[in-house]
Amino acid sequence: MTEQPLLMDNLDNILLSIGEFGKYQVWVLMFICIALILNTGSHISYVFTAFTVINYRCKIPECDTSPPDYDAGFLTNAVPFKNKLPSKCETFLYNFSNVEPPIICTPDVFDKSGTRKCNDFVYETDVWSILQEYDLQCENNEWKLTMVGTVNSVGQFVGLFLGGLISDRFGRKFVLIWGMIFCAVFGLLRTCMTSYEWFLVFEFLDAVFGASTYICGFVLGVELVGPKKRVLTGILTSSSYALGEIFTAASAWAVKSWKPIIYILYSPSFLLIFYIWLVPESIRWLLSKGRTEEAKAILKRAAKFNNRELSESTLEKLTISTSKEEEEKGALLQACKSSILCIRLIVCAFCWIVCAFLFYGLTLNSVSLVAGNPYLDFMLTALIEIPAYVCSHFMLDMYGRRKPLFASFFVTGLACASFIFVPADSHAGTLAVFLIGKFGATLAFTNLYVHTSEMFPTKTRHTFMGCCSTLGRLGSMLAPQTPLLAQLWTPLPLVSFAVMAALACMLSLLFPETANIKLPDTIEEAENLSKLPKTVNQEKHNA
């Protein structure tokens, strides 16, 4: 069979002619990756600013020394114990008014028949989070700490919608730069808030402005390289998020106080003002807005930087369809009439919710592993994402789409379920569970992104993917609440992850295999994916 040439638009051909991954693209991608590393702080800094300080107890001024010792010798006389730990917010009844000095806190000065609440505390750790800042101690206030993560996710949900509208109107670079700068402004203002409620308001605003910057940076990077280098660019930009997580945890480890953490993470974002001159606007966006001369200027600059020739006659062929959005809107109603596509969309959306729930849930719970260093544990669960991104590329290439997606959900669910059988005092065992689970969740997220993009017709592909991605944020909203489940049963957060992964694992079998099959252009083709012709590459492979 005669091999057909790869179908590309004129822009792809020009990118190939000037060097699809030349010095110019490497230079710009470096700046984009730096921005994405900084952007991660707006997504996950709440893990450490709203850090749950596990070990603290009531302060008893008459008994405690200066500075007080958390494991003071008189504690067994003064406070109730549970699971070998002193009560956080209660002491036995006592009255020192009738005790002659010097006071010795012996059992006879405490009345163990009753308890009372306290307002002053002694902490085992030197970590300072909003728990101490806004007096959120005791079990009845723990929901306020987890609420910070949920508010952040709600802000991202709103920000993704607004950011999409703004980027379509003003450009991808505009959202990347000004989104990060305003994100930094509200993030830093958060440190000045005198109440928990106002802290939440600025947490929300911070997340709103930071939500779309990652997507815009990703798009800017991918659209600037040739077709064959887009996977590599995607891996690099995705890995930047993992590096940002490591940078966030390392910063928190270094200062262990929530305000300096924010200063370190957010202050560098103001330097992105220089990206106005360092980073080009999306060429495809410029063309869609009819700003052809600006697009040509960027391509000329790239060609010169890469030591390539770019003729005017080649640039004159630069065209791009501007009617795609209108075509999608016209075809959406028709696609929704297809029961096959509607069911597929519902299953896709559920799997996206599960992916976000697993990915962020495992990340957040990693800081509460027994007897571990929360900062190091968090960094390790972030670092495991990078080999997962690389592995997903090879899995998708070798085994198709459906099998790797099934396997990734299965591995995640199995790892989380095994947490029940890991000894409670085994840090190595629990860390292994989290690392394997996070590896599988990252694989599932990456694989699902590719699989979803191949299951819907061309005219509605972007709309359906956006719908799945937006609904997926419901999972990230629920994830910050999972640490509260540990109060009922220690393994319960991991068990909930296992159950959700098992459901997604089974539902993923409903998806058609899309690897090496022509992307569907019509609704009929999308409904009958398994009957579509294979690509040239697959035919050669089978031969």
pLDDT, one tens digit per residue, over 457-500 is 867 776 777 788 888 889 988 988 888 888 788 889 999 999 99
Question: What is residue 536's predicted lDDT score, i.e. its pLDDT?
Answer: 43
Distance CA(158)–CA(512), nearest Å, equals 32
pLDDT higher than threshold 90 for residue 388? yes
pLDDT higher than threshold 70 for residue 321? no
pLDDT digits (tens, 9 = 90+) for 112-144: 888 989 889 999 888 899 999 999 998 888 899
pLDDT higher than threshold 70 for residue 537? no
Instruction: List, in order of start, the domains of the chain with CATH numbers.
Output: 9-45+135-322 (1.20.1250.20), 56-124 (no CATH), 323-543 (1.20.1250.20)
Does the pTM exceed 0.95? Answer: no
Distance CA(119)–CA(90), nearest Å, equals 9
Question: What is residue 163's predicted lDDT score, i.e. its pLDDT?
Answer: 85
DSSP code of 381? H
- Is 142 within 8 Å of 52 (Cβ atoms)? yes
- 385/15: higher pLDDT: 385
Closest by CA to 378, choosing from 491, 255, 251, is 251
Question: What is residue 543's predicted lDDT score, i.e. its pLDDT?
Answer: 42
% of the chain at pLDDT higher than 90: 37
The pLDDT-based confidence of 530 (bands split at 50, 70, 90) is low
Question: What is residue 291's predicted lDDT score, i.e. its pLDDT?
Answer: 87
User: What's the average model confidence in pLDDT over 79-103?
Assistant: 78
290: left (phi over 0), alpha (psi -120 to 50) or beta: left
The residue whose two tokens read 């605003």 is 205
pLDDT digits (tens, 9 = 90+) for 205-241: 999 999 888 888 888 888 888 877 877 888 888 889 9
Tell me the angle at which helices 385-399 and 230-255 cross, rounded to the nearest 10 degrees: 160
Give 131-159 as a 3 state SS string: HHHCCCCCHHHHHHHHHHHHHHHHHHHHH
The pLDDT-based confidence of 86 (bands split at 50, 70, 90) is confident
Question: What is residue 209's predicted lDDT score, i.e. its pLDDT?
Answer: 93
User: What's the average model confidence in pLDDT over 313-323?
Assistant: 63
Instruction: Give the amino acid at 406.
Output: F
Measured CA angle at 354 (ends 341, 426), to 5 deg: 155
Instruction: Give the amino acid at 249.
Output: A
The pLDDT-based confidence of 371 (bands split at 50, 70, 90) is low
Question: What is residue 438's predicted lDDT score, i.e. its pLDDT?
Answer: 94
- CA-CA distances (angstroms) from residue 165 to 162, 207, 212, 282? 5, 16, 10, 15
Distance CA(135)–CA(119), nearest Å, equals 9
- Is 370 within 8 Å of 490 (Cβ atoms)? no
pLDDT digits (tens, 9 = 90+) for 150-192: 999 999 889 888 887 888 888 889 999 999 999 999 999 999 9
User: What's the average model confidence in pLDDT over 27-56?
Assistant: 90
Distance CA(357)–CA(79), nearest Å, equals 38
